[in-house]
Amino acid sequence: MKRVMECPQNVHFIIMECPRSGQSAYIFNFWRGTQNMIIKPDNEMLSYSGRIDFDDRLAPVLVYACSSIGMKFTGTSLKAVIANHRSCWTNELGYFIDGEQKRFTLSSDEEKKTYTLAEGLSEGTHELLLFKRMDSCHTFTFYGFEIDDGAKVLPLPEKPKRKMEFFGDSVSCGEVSEAVEYVGKPDPEHDGEYSNSWYSYAWMTARKLNAQIHDTSQGGISLLDDTGWFAAPHYKGVESCYDKIEYHPDLGPTKPWDFSRYIPHVVVVAIGQNDNHPVDYMAEDYDSEKSKNWRKHYQAFIEKLMQLYPKAQIILATTILCHDKSWDRSIDEVCTRIGSERVHHFLYTKNGSGTPGHIRIPEAEQMSDELAAYINSLGDAVWES
């Protein structure tokens, strides 16, 4: 005989009674609420992507733009249990349900909250992709999904074999990308609502090449500390952040990243546009000591990536966001100095002159077309290492 028992902690058990002895056996089934079943973050059917903090498997922290959680499930409703950690902007997450893109606003406090993603879905199987629209202006802790009591979680297709990583700034994150009425114009006033990493040239490129992505990028970041726009007034550069999971000084202590967890075939380094703040020393004097120092540190960073990823193709670039050509000249000089068949310098058609504002969706589309075509021109062998 089978009976169901609820314990005070809402743990669901099946009680099987032996017909001969009359003794009962308690079999753990799943954790559920009043009408919903909880899918915990460590469920093996969930598919994660991005540089994610898994120190607590039951409370992973998502930091970077393009980081995502995928799930295939049955039932008619879906909720997500999340705690947001905010530094700035109004923070939103994006998600796809059965191919339809949606978004929702996160609370500005740090309390664990339940967000309804879908109700009244048709009976049958559904697919979710929950993703981080924004950079580390916020992080969030994921505590699980809620689906209908008795619904199922099913296996997702395997991830693509190809892997890419982008080290960049706000353009690589898709910041202000949805302000499509401002193509080729300065940014409108906003509170983060136009930022969407799905429409970044980085994620577009990865999708066109059928590749996974780690978008290790941060809005406002430069190469060196004490320059750029990120983490004012004590600006942090890529040199201080590239080897971290958590790295934002407003959001707690930093944590190192284990580079063995994700080995990309292709790395795109798209930094050098925010380094002109507060002084555009490269444009003022290409041969100044500051300019030489930047090239020295840029070369050291690229050579470090070559050590970390000894088989990866590394593409050096900036973007079409307006900046002085001296920065691209410096990158080209470093590429020549390194002199490796694995390191390439790529320029877009409108490089450094496309727009005074952030890259909008149509501009990102063109950039991703050009970048994907360039990577394809390197041959299929780049994906075989």
Cα 384–Cα 339–Cα 286 angle in degrees, nearest 5: 130
Are the beta carbons of 133 and 104 closer than 8 angstroms? no
For residues 232-260, average pLDDT: 97
Nearest to 267 by CA among 201, 192, 363, 344: 344
pLDDT at position 336 over 80: yes
pLDDT at position 279 over 90: yes
Tokens linked to 158: 């395997």
pLDDT tens figures, 71-129: 999 999 999 999 999 999 999 999 999 999 999 999 999 999 999 999 999 999 999 99
pLDDT tens figures, 197-214: 999 999 999 999 999 999
Tokens linked to 297: 């540190």
Q: What's the sign of the alpha-carbon dihedral 31, 37, 39, 40?
A: negative
Q: What is the pLDDT of residue 9?
A: 43
User: Residue 36: pLDDT band by 50, 70, 90 thresholds?
Assistant: confident
User: Residue 7: pLDDT band by 50, 70, 90 thresholds?
Assistant: very low
Domains and CATH numbers, the chain: 2-31 (no CATH), 38-154 (2.60.120.260), 162-383 (3.40.50.1110)
Cα 113–Cα 49–Cα 88 angle in degrees, nearest 5: 50
Count CA atoms closer than 13 A to 176's CA, side-chain side.
Answer: 22
User: Residue 11: pLDDT band by 50, 70, 90 thresholds?
Assistant: very low
Q: What b/e string do you get for 279-307 counting C-beta neighbours within 10 Å, with b at 16 or more?
A: eebbeeebeeeebeebbebbbebbbebbe
Per residue, the 3-state secondary structure of 160-202, as one string, reads CCEEEEEEECHHHHCCCCCCHHHCCCCCCCCCCCCCCHHHCHH
For residues 352-359, average pLDDT: 97
The interaxial angle of helices 201-208 and 361-377, nearest 10 deg, is 40
For residues 337-366, average pLDDT: 98
Are the beta carbons of 134 and 92 closer than 8 angstroms? yes
For residues 227-242, average pLDDT: 97
User: Residue 385: pLDDT band by 50, 70, 90 thresholds?
Assistant: confident
Distance CA 4, CA 171 (A): 53
Max Cα distance, the chain (Å): 91
Q: What is the pLDDT of residue 22?
A: 39
The interaxial angle of helices 325-338 and 289-308, nearest 10 deg, is 50
Task: Look over the chain and give the mean of its residue pLDDT values, rounded to a whole number.
Answer: 93
CA-based R_g, the chain, Å: 23
Percent of the chain past pLDDT 90, that is, above it, reads 90
For residues 9-33, average pLDDT: 39
- pTM, two decimals, is 0.91
Strand order, beta sheet including 343-345 = 211-215, 162-168, 266-270, 313-316, 343-345
Determine if residue 299 is left, alpha or beta; phi over 0 gives left, psi from -120 to 50 gives alpha, anything else beta.
Answer: alpha
For residues 207-229, average pLDDT: 99
User: Residue 21: pLDDT band by 50, 70, 90 thresholds?
Assistant: very low
pLDDT tens figures, 289-327: 999 999 999 999 999 999 999 999 999 999 999 999 999
